[in-house]
């Protein structure tokens, strides 16, 4: 069953300060450019790419925090409306976010109990104080925080513990979809593994559907059923997690994979260094967005390629078969 469907989603921001005079045209930042995908219930979609590739903007648009310029977002067969307060309230009951900075995402003036009780009060106003207290205890048990810490404040916890509390707060609304915006990038490596394993366990126990955003494709492949690779807001490659990692067809995906450390001194991996800097979203390259940094670029890349089947995945590259050494 398809829980989330995104079609031709585009998000653009108009920079008013770049046009100080009325007759001047303000600049427009194209953050997300024509993203489409379906996510099945109980599955995890991993989204990877460099900073500035539109990953966070994409999931904020899904959550209703940013209004799309074009395209549609459909949740359980019902198109999401962004201009009605009632519709947004229902959306936020079904869709919750886990943020990158675990400490900054918690109110420093509220105890853990108050932090977890607040969404329960908002979304389930009929529950009694005793029920809310029991709910808070259950949430703390799920994320591995002892109940005796419920009256402590965020500054008394480590970063990993704060992220567990942030996960518990998201679960308090009993959502169907969890949007994880780089939830482990601010944590130590050992803590990252613990948080990823916690999310996987919660997904199995509660039947959650996840969208997991990260820079590190090495982390994403351990939790994702499907992986979407983004660059300058566009879709470069998409497919099953195992296939994207082992049979990458797009040169950008291959460059990301080559940067993943291999913990074996006998395995020599030659990283594919990307040339140049990430282009400005104010002035996107013509044709393929990646052409200005791709060592395989030719004149054929002057036309923007569509996402198409290449081997086991789908890639937006006119030379994908040749680059990936896959028979056409």
Reported as a single tens digit per residue, the pLDDT across 54-94 is 999 999 999 988 989 999 999 988 888 777 777 777 788 89
Mean local confidence (pLDDT), 283-311 = 88
Q: What is the per-residue pLDDT for 5?
A: 95
Query: What pLDDT band is residue 273 in, cutting at 50, 70 and 90?
Result: low
Is residue 244 within 8 Å of 229, Cβ to Cβ?
yes
Q: What is the per-residue pLDDT for 264?
A: 58
The alpha carbon of 242 is separated from its chain's Cα centroid by a whole number of angstroms, namely 18
Q: With CA atoms as reference, report the closest residue to 136 among 115, 155, 152.
A: 115
Beta partners for residue 310, in sequence order: 313
Give the lowest-confidence range in 112-116, 204-208, 277-281.
277-281
d(CA 81, CA 51): 28
Query: What's the chain's average pLDDT?
Result: 89
Is residue 166 within 8 Å of 98, Cβ to Cβ?
yes
The DSSP call for residue 247 is S
Is residue 296 within 8 Å of 323, Cβ to Cβ?
yes
d(CA 130, CA 232): 49
Is residue 102 within 8 Å of 166, Cβ to Cβ?
yes
pLDDT value at 157 more than 90: yes
Is residue 36 within 8 Å of 50, Cβ to Cβ?
no
pLDDT value at 327 more than 50: no
pLDDT tens, residue by residue, 22-43: 777 788 888 999 999 999 999 9
Give residue for tokens 């469907």. Answer: 5
CA distances from 149 to 142, 144, 162, 325 (A): 14, 11, 12, 56
Mean local confidence (pLDDT), 190-202 = 92
Query: What pLDDT band is residue 322 in, cutting at 50, 70 and 90?
Result: confident
Sign of CA dihedral 286, 70, 68, 179: negative
Q: What is the per-residue pLDDT for 263?
A: 64
Q: How many helices (H) and strands (E) does the chain have?
A: 10, 12
3-state helix, strand and coil shares in percent for the chain, rounded to the nearest 5? 35, 25, 40
Within a domain: 125: yes
| Residues making up the chain, counted from first to last | 328
Within a domain: 325: no
Within a domain: 302: no
The total number of structural domains that make up the chain: 1
This model's pTM is above 0.85:
yes
Sign of CA dihedral 75, 51, 201, 132: negative
Going across the sheet that includes 2-15, the strands are: 27-40, 2-15, 70-75, 78-79
Is residue 105 within 8 Å of 166, Cβ to Cβ?
yes
Within a domain: 290: no
Is residue 62 within 8 Å of 4, Cβ to Cβ?
yes
User: Could you write out the DSSP letters of every residue in 62-83?
Assistant: HHTSS--SEEEEEETTEEPPSS
CATH code of the domain covering residue 18:
3.40.50.300
Proportion of the chain above pLDDT 90, given as a percent: 60
Proportion of the chain above pLDDT 70, given as a percent: 93
pLDDT value at 238 more than 90: yes
Within a domain: 324: no
Q: What is the per-residue pLDDT for 8?
A: 95
pLDDT value at 18 more than 70: no
CA distances from 158 to 100, 187, 232 (A): 14, 10, 34
pLDDT tens, residue by residue, 166-179: 999 999 999 999 99
Q: What is the per-residue pLDDT for 25?
A: 78
Query: What pLDDT band is residue 281 in, cutting at 50, 70 and 90?
Result: confident
**∠ CA(276), CA(279), CA(283), 5° rounding?**
145
Within a domain: 150: yes
Q: What is the per-residue pLDDT for 328?
A: 43
Mean local confidence (pLDDT), 257-261 = 78
CA distances from 217 to 171, 228, 232, 294 (A): 25, 10, 17, 19
Within a domain: 92: yes
Q: Which domain holds residue 36?
A: 2-256
Token duo for residue 174:
């009993």
Query: What pLDDT band is residue 266 in, cutting at 50, 70 and 90?
Result: low
The alpha carbon of 33 is separated from its chain's Cα centroid by a whole number of angstroms, namely 15
- Which ranges in 124-228 belong to alpha helices (H)? 129-143, 159-171, 189-206, 217-223
Mean local confidence (pLDDT), 130-155 = 95
């Amino acid at each position: 069953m398809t829980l989330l469907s995104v079609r031709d989603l585009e998000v653009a921001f108009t920079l008013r300060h770049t046009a100080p005079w009325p007759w001047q045209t303000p600049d427009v930042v194209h953050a997300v450019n024509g993203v489409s995908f379906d996510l099945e219930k109980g599955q995890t979609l991993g989204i990877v790419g460099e900073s500035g590739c539109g990953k966070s903007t994409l999931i904020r648009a899904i959550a209703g925090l940013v209004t799309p310029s074009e395209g549609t977002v459909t949740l359980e067969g019902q198109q999401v409306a962004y201009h009605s307060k009632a519709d947004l309230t229902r959306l936020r009951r079904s869709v919750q976010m886990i943020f990158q900075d675990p400490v900054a995402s918690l109110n420093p003036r509220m105890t853990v109990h108050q932090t977890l009780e607040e969404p329960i009060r908002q979304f389930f106003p009929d529950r009694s104080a005793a029920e809310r207290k029991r709910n808070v205890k259950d949430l703390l048990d799920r994320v591995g925080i002892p109940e005796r810490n419920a009256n402590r404040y965020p500054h008394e916890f480590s970063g990993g513990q704060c992220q567990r509390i942030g996960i518990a707060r998201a679960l308090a609304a009993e959502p169907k979809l969890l949007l994880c915006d780089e939830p482990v990038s601010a944590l130590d490596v050992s803590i990252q593994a613990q948080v990823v394993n916690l999310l996987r366990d919660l997904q199995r126990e509660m039947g959650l559907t996840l969208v997991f955003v990260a820079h590190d494709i090495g982390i994403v492949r351990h939790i994702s059923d499907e992986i979407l690779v983004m660059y300058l807001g566009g879709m470069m490659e998409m497919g099953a997690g195992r296939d994207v990692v082992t049979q990458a067809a797009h040169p950008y995906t291959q460059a990301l994979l080559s940067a993943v450390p291999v913990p074996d001194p006998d395995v020599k991996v030659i990283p594919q260094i990307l040339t140049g800097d990430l282009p400005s979203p104010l002035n996107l390259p013509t044709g393929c967005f990646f052409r200005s940094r791709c060592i395989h670029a030719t004149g054929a890349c002057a036309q923007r390629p569509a996402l198409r089947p290449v081997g086991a995945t789908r890639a937006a590259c006119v030379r994908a078969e040749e680059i990936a050494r896959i028979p056409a």
